[in-house]
Amino acid sequence: MGNTASPLAKPRQDRAITTGCADCEIRAIGVCSSLAPGELERMQRIVREAQYEEGQLIFSEGEPADNLFNVLTGAVRLIKLLPDGRRQITGFLFPGDFLGIALNATYAYSAEAITGTKLCRMGRRDIETLLADIPNLEHRLLGEAAHELVAAQDQMLLLGRKTAMERVASFLVSLSERAQRHGFPGNPVSLAMSRTDIADFLGLTTETVSRTFTRLRKAKIIALEGNGLVQLTDRSALDGLIAGGNSDAA
């Protein structure tokens, strides 16, 4: 496991949005994709643009869940702190992903910017007012909540039953498929996060993750291209590893 989360910091900028919601670069893949022009205008009146630097805490576990966010640029890690102070990363978010849905009055996890990150910030009370008038938005948010549940179930399977090789293979393929669903290239895979982040997500040590990447590279299943890019050179081999075939515990 890695270090605990960094201290809470205010966003570098928090201002009225500089681009209209109708012209937002991630509108087609975000929660606003189903909104009509008039509904977008109402949304635009309640949102602000918040920018965070690398490593800044966006919100903390247990903090009042007063805001929801849409990731515009950058990347975010979701963190649960363990009783001994270590962290478990429970997910990564990228442009188009929604952040901050809370079943209770407080956030169940912390969120931290992996890189310089720009978010669309919405007050929870403002969103609740819109939900009463815009059923499409409510349906989309319910879909986001359901997606979080499925992701949590997948994470439980990943940590409970798979070897290190299978976990890393599953991680790379899931990022590839996720990028494609959002309309981005699925290969090469862009890894904004560090090996330590990946280890904390997969329940492994940083050394095991690095060793597993090296094994995959030497087997010509992946190629490391620099700048965080990983080429999936043998997708069928990765799929075989995910299925539990021919993988050794690392």
Confidence class of residue 7 from pLDDT cuts 50, 70 and 90?
very low
Confidence of residue 1 (pLDDT cuts 50, 70, 90): very low
Specify if 19 maps to a domain.
yes
Q: Residue 65: which domain range?
A: 13-157
Q: Which is more confident, 89 or 17?
A: 89
Q: Is there a domain that residue 4 lies in?
A: no
**Residue 236 CA to its chain's centroid (Å):** 25
Residue 132 domain flag: yes
Claim to verify: residue 38 and residue 90 sit in the same structural domain: yes
Q: Which of 157, 175, 197 is the last residue of a domain?
A: 157
β-sheet bridge partners, residue 112: 57, 77
79-119 pLDDT per residue, tens: 998 888 888 999 999 998 989 888 789 999 999 999 999 99
Domain boundary pick from 105, 138, 157: 157
Shared-domain flag, residues 48 and 120: yes
**pLDDT value at residue 250:** 41
- The yes-or-no verdict on residue 127 having pLDDT over 70 is yes
Higher model confidence: residue 158 or residue 72?
A: 72
Cα separation, 203 vs 198, whole angstroms: 8
User: Domain for residue 250, yes or no?
Assistant: no
Is residue 123 located within the same domain as residue 224?
Answer: no
pLDDT at 142: 77
Convert the pLDDT of each residue in 26-57 to its tens digit.
887 877 877 888 888 888 888 999 999 999 99
Q: Are residues 26 and 125 in the same domain?
A: yes
Report which residue type is found at 151. A
Give the 3-state secondary structure percentages of the chain, helix then strand then coil, rounded to 5.
40, 25, 35
Considering its fold, how many domains does the chain have in total?
2
Shared domain check, 145 and 168? no
- Over the chain, what is the mean pLDDT? 86
Enter the tokens of residue 177.
């498929």
* pLDDT for the residue 245: 62
pLDDT at residue 249, rounded to an integer = 40
Banded model confidence at residue 19, pLDDT cuts 50, 70, 90: low
Whether residue 115 is found in the same domain as residue 91: yes
Tell me the pLDDT tens digit for each residue of 167-223. Answer: 999 999 999 998 998 888 999 999 999 999 999 999 999 999 999 999 999 999 999
Same domain assignment for residues 178 and 150 = no
> Which pLDDT belongs to residue 147?
72
Task: Tell whether 153 and 205 lie within a shared domain.
Answer: no
- Domain of 236: which CATH number? 1.10.10.10
Domain assignment present for residue 110? The answer is: yes
Do both 120 and 233 map to the same domain?
no
Which position has the higher pLDDT, 176 or 9? 176
**Domain presence at residue 2:** no
Same domain, 118 and 219: no
* Mean pLDDT computed over 223-239: 95
State which amino acid sits at residue 218. Answer: K
Distance set, CA 34 to CA 46, 55, 110, 141 (Å)? 17, 32, 28, 11
Helix residue ranges per DSSP H, 104-224: 124-133, 135-161, 164-181, 195-202, 206-218
Q: pTM of the entire structure? A: 0.85
Task: Determine the distance from the C-alpha atom of residue 27 to the mean position of all C-alpha atoms in its chain, rounded to a whole number.
Answer: 17
